[in-house]
Structure 1
Amino acid sequence: MTDFEAVNWLEEVTKRQDELLADLFHLLRIDSVRNDEKADADNPVGPGPRKAMEEFLKLAERDGFQTEQFGPWAGRVEIGEGDELFGILGHMDVVPVGTGWDTDPFEPEIIDGKIFARGSSDDKGPTVAAYFALKLLRDMGATFNKRIHLIVGTDEESGWQCMDYYFDHAEMPDFGFSPDATFPIINGEKGNVSAELTVQAGTQQEGDLALEHFAAGLRPNMVPQDAQAELTIEAAGFDGGAFLRAYNTYLDNHDLQGEASIQDGTISMDLVGKSAHGSTPEKGVNAGTHLARFLAGFTYTANGADEFLRFLGEIVHGNFDGASLGVDHEDAVMGEVSMNVGIMEFAPAKGGHIDINFRYPKGTNPDQMLEHIQDRLLQFSQIEVTMGEFKKPHYVPADDPLVATLLEVYHKQTGLEPHEQVIGGGTYARLMPRGVAYGALFPDSTDTMHQANEFLALDDLLRATAIYAEAIYRLSR
């Protein structure tokens, strides 16, 4: 009989490393980006996320676990008995690939001890680590006096429709964690809401240029890495050569990459920034607002285009706490508002669309934020704003037994001092009244979530799996 109090968890995980990597690599090879163009009733966010979820369940069925699938949206692995329900919530969908990869994002490779693939750290790697921890415990003979549900979703990176469907058909856990963030713990998550701005095409006026096309951003929760624009020269005396020189100077002054060319009176432009998670916009370089900032220095034949570029380039560019829109606020525990301009689009026939994503602490709310933004928009005649659906701030006190146990396990296995944390990112943990996020990145890990060349260090994967194993054992006793 195993003496679980004496187990060297990392040693047990390392013995089974090849098995762990085989299952993870199988899932990483599945392109599970949401694809609305291929969506249908059977695949509401496209076929990739559902396939990854079903393949995850097949692995669990192969290993002898009881599983259940909830429509095309979510799946569950079950073990244990008891009155209380312990939930572990992960996801199989991933953000779009974007540009700038040095490897095939869906052909995982281990290079210098790092697993490169889209989803390696967000969230297939951590979810497989939690599953493998559960499997390890069962194989070692552990018994559980609580029911454990490991739940995987397919729409975490966009609308969370998967969890809406799941909890319409299944029981809410009494407590649990989501392996989708950082150690030592995330026991607080800011609220999440997007401001949706529409820009009317506007009336015609005299100007040097006509903005024919502008596009930047893949998701509201990603800092745009790429931006493109197309313009036509309207003024007879416009100096195209000076325009190109000025653009190159702008790129040089801001250490940016990009190109611009002029052919038959049409200017084509692109700019490359750096992607980052939308909850930490200061870690990225927003290609869209940079391109708009440069273009805002010229005049346009439609005042809608003029206001679109001026708002992006002069009001929100370089502002990460929402102060330029009057929505900045700070809570002593949860910290400051963060602001990410995630989607920017303009075409003469449709006008413009801007999605600004906010992560906000306790002490403010979307209604207050909307009022402040509307005040700032009084100087713009062509721009209107509405607030989308929102998620409220979530916090589990540091003295909660769940938090205390998880921090104790972390300290025991790492020797590092545990402490509570609040993030701007949102995880499934917030769905549970007593839910927290727990790993799989460590304080010294490089965070590449939502970026090109996403990776998870192999050592971190093994360490996280060991921590999950002991944590699950402790929480289910």
Structure 2
Amino acid sequence: MDIKEQIHGLTEEMLTNLGRLVAIDSQLGTPAEGKPFGEGPAKALEEGLKIAQELGFKTVNLDNYCGYAEMGEGDEIVGIAGHLDIVPVGGDWSYDPFKLTREGDYVYGRGTTDDKGPVLEALYAMKLLRDSGVKLNKRVRLIMGCNEETGSKCMEHYNEVAEELSCGFTPDASFPCIHGEKGLLQMMAYSKNTKIISADGGFVFNAVCDSSTIVVPAEEGLKERLEAVLAETKLQEYKVTEENGQISIYAKGVPAHASTPTLGVNAIGVTFECLEKAGFKDDFVEFYNTHIGTSCDGEGIGLKFADEYGELTLCNGMIKTENDVISCTIDIRVPVTLKSDEVRRMCESRLDDENGRIEILGIGDALFFPRESPLVNALYKAYTDVTGDTENKPMVIGGGTYAKSLKNIIAFGPEKPGIDYRIHSADEFILVSGMEEAVLVYMEAIKNLLAI
């Protein structure tokens, strides 16, 4: 039996185990004794380590921050770091997000691609290598983290209590290979004066707002003008209602990850743009449209910039009203050649005026490995050898992964170029054929890393 047949023979078992993980709501919860990220992430880690034990691996739980499954011997460690926590469900699902649902090659559920499925792909790659008798001159360690989506404190803990990795990858991005990750700049925008009665939209910081409801005072003819301009937008759905002297605007946009906001339609941005076009005069509407807007390029705050590896992107994910103040989240992905002090200088004069203010929450530096580095070459070769795809090249992405938290690793798969797996959106899925191919790619990758 050749290796592809062996992998195919394990597919049902892999899907059964993936179903065990998907069934656990592992969103960030309320911290408790011995459970730093709450009940769900701790339960997912317990189940992930249990699956690894059933497959014959030694496992270690690092205080429910993270844990690992390991094989081989030696001082050096080839590390594979994936995560078992998930973002909130959000959106309108066609399937139960916590029940694995298969339709042909498609398997739906929250975490199927981000990142429970890839964790299992790597685990089964390790199993098949071990069972094949490949000489392991290094240890191979699959780390399962519990806090990637909300801060990666799990990897901070790993760095405090466990050994440094010699080389490795995180299966939490795209093929063929990621040799750079943009820096992350997070901001909050606040109103100073506004007539807006209430604003509510979005469900997570790092995704384009897919729906919002904005309530404003009624004005003569405003409802009709709003309906006219909303009809010209790319919203999937909208509804304008007027009663008791108030106008409520519901807008449904198109979700997208914050690293690729131009793939989405921001319900908040479109609504504010339409309010202005309909003649609604408001200080914060003006501030939003001039500073944030719908262009996603950061020009409104002086941050429009691009280098040879990509453009700066801006995403407004959430909006809310609290104590008569509107706040908006801003997630910016910064090109790899732009340093944090440069970013501050570029935008500092554009963050405050009479209509609103923007506060910088934090700036994280980019990650970059030269294309010709041994790590990049080893992983890219594994991908091309298995798939035959030499057209797609190693790339820089806007997303952030564990590669920024652990030394000597980069992001590697499993998403294939040109496919939207709907991560951070409704109806997230993984392809069964893609899972099988990824297992083989990861087997080759581990062998290549053992040879470095």
| TM-score in terms of structure 2 length | 0.93
Match in the other structure for 1:223: 208
Residues 168-183 of structure 1: pairs in structure 2 closer than 5 A: 168-183=160-175
> Which residue type is aligned with residue 255 of structure 1?
K
**Distance in structure 1 (CA, Å) of the matches to 2:234 and 2:184:** 31
Match in the other structure for 2:239: 259
**Distance in structure 2 (CA, Å) of the matches to 1:91 and 1:116:** 18
Question: How far does residue 76 in structure 1 lie from its aligned partner after superposition?
Answer: 1.0
**Distance in structure 2 (CA, Å) of the matches to 1:130 and 1:276:** 26
**Distance in structure 2 (CA, Å) of the matches to 1:383 and 1:324:** 13
Match in the other structure for 1:432: 406
Structure 2 vs 1, CA of residues 350 and 77 (structure 1 numbering), >3 Å: closer, same or farther?
farther
Greater mean deviation of Cα atoms: 178-187 or 391-400: 391-400
Match in the other structure for 2:273: 293
Question: How far does residue 294 in structure 1 lie from its aligned partner after superposition?
Answer: 2.2
Match in the other structure for 2:437: 463
Q: Deviations over 1:342-401 (max 9, x none)?
A: 222234x251222211111233233333343332245x2253333223321111122222
Match in the other structure for 1:44: 36
> Which residue type is aligned with residue 390 of structure 1?
I
> Which residue type is aligned with residue 167 of structure 2?
F
Question: How far does residue 83 in structure 1 lie from its aligned partner after superposition?
Answer: 2.1
Match in the other structure for 2:248: 268
The answer to whether the 8 Å contact 1:396/1:434 transfers is no
Residue 327 (1) aligns with residue 290 (2): no
Question: How far does residue 85 in structure 1 lie from its aligned partner after superposition?
Answer: 1.5
Question: How many residues in Structure 1 have an aligned counterpart in Structure 2?
Answer: 448
Question: How far does residue 8 in structure 1 lie from its aligned partner after superposition?
Answer: 4.2
Q: Deviations over 1:63-93 (max 9, x none)?
A: 2211111223111111111121111010011
2:17 to 15, 23, 28: 23
Match in the other structure for 2:425: 451
The answer to whether the 8 Å contact 2:168/2:409 transfers is yes
> Which residue type is aligned with residue 380 of structure 2?
L
Match in the other structure for 1:403: 376
Q: Deviations over 1:269-321 (max 9, x none)?
A: 21100111100000011111112222345556xxxxx3332222343222222
Match in the other structure for 2:343: 369
The answer to whether the 8 Å contact 1:176/1:432 transfers is no
Match in the other structure for 1:76: 68
**Distance in structure 2 (CA, Å) of the matches to 1:293 and 1:41:** 47
Residues 86-97 of structure 1: pairs in structure 2 closer than 5 A: 86-97=78-89
Q: Deviations over 1:428-458 (max 9, x none)?
A: 1233342111111112433321121111111
Report SS of the residue matched to 1:253: coil
The answer to whether the 8 Å contact 2:167/2:449 transfers is no
Structure 2 vs 1, CA of residues 251 and 198 (structure 1 numbering), >3 Å: closer, same or farther?
closer
Report SS of the residue matched to 1:247: helix
Report SS of the residue matched to 1:464: helix
The answer to whether the 8 Å contact 2:298/2:314 transfers is yes
Q: Deviations over 1:9-39 (max 9, x none)?
A: 322211211111111111111111224xx44
Match in the other structure for 2:226: 247
Question: How far does residue 249 in structure 1 lie from its aligned partner after superposition?
Answer: 1.9
**Distance in structure 1 (CA, Å) of the matches to 2:37 and 2:182:** 26
Greater mean deviation of Cα atoms: 381-390 or 64-73: 381-390
The answer to whether the 8 Å contact 2:156/2:405 transfers is no
Greater mean deviation of Cα atoms: 274-283 or 64-73: 64-73
Residue 343 (1) aligns with residue 335 (2): no
**Distance in structure 1 (CA, Å) of the matches to 2:369 and 2:180:** 6
**Distance in structure 2 (CA, Å) of the matches to 1:126 and 1:271:** 34
> Which residue type is aligned with residue 357 of structure 1?
D
Structure 2 vs 1, CA of residues 315 and 197 (structure 1 numbering), >3 Å: closer, same or farther?
closer
The answer to whether the 8 Å contact 1:232/1:267 transfers is yes
Structure 2 vs 1, CA of residues 390 and 71 (structure 1 numbering), >3 Å: closer, same or farther?
farther
Report SS of the residue matched to 2:231: helix
Greater mean deviation of Cα atoms: 164-173 or 42-51: 42-51
Question: How far does residue 122 in structure 1 lie from its aligned partner after superposition?
Answer: 0.8
**Distance in structure 1 (CA, Å) of the matches to 2:363 and 2:140:** 29
The answer to whether the 8 Å contact 1:370/1:386 transfers is no
Match in the other structure for 1:4: none
Name structure 2 gaps, 5 residues minimum: none
Residues 150-169 of structure 1: pairs in structure 2 closer than 5 A: 150-169=142-161
2:196 to 191, 197, 211: 211
> Which residue type is aligned with residue 204 of structure 2?
R
Greater mean deviation of Cα atoms: 89-98 or 257-266: 257-266
The answer to whether the 8 Å contact 1:366/1:387 transfers is no
Structure 2 vs 1, CA of residues 214 and 41 (structure 1 numbering), >3 Å: closer, same or farther?
farther
1:62 to 27, 42, 54: 54
Q: Report % sequence identity.
A: 33
Report SS of the residue matched to 1:98: coil
The answer to whether the 8 Å contact 2:125/2:443 transfers is yes
Name structure 1 gaps, 5 residues minimum: 1-6, 205-209, 301-305
Match in the other structure for 1:281: 261
Report SS of the residue matched to 1:48: helix
CA-atom RMSD in angstroms:
2.0
Structure 2 vs 1, CA of residues 58 and 399 (structure 1 numbering), >3 Å: closer, same or farther?
same
Greater mean deviation of Cα atoms: 264-273 or 53-62: 264-273
Question: How far does residue 219 in structure 1 lie from its aligned partner after superposition?
Answer: 1.9
**Distance in structure 1 (CA, Å) of the matches to 2:41 and 2:447:** 30
| TM-score in terms of structure 1 length | 0.89
Q: Deviations over 1:387-416 (max 9, x none)?
A: 223321111122222221221221111111
**Distance in structure 2 (CA, Å) of the matches to 1:436 and 1:320:** 26
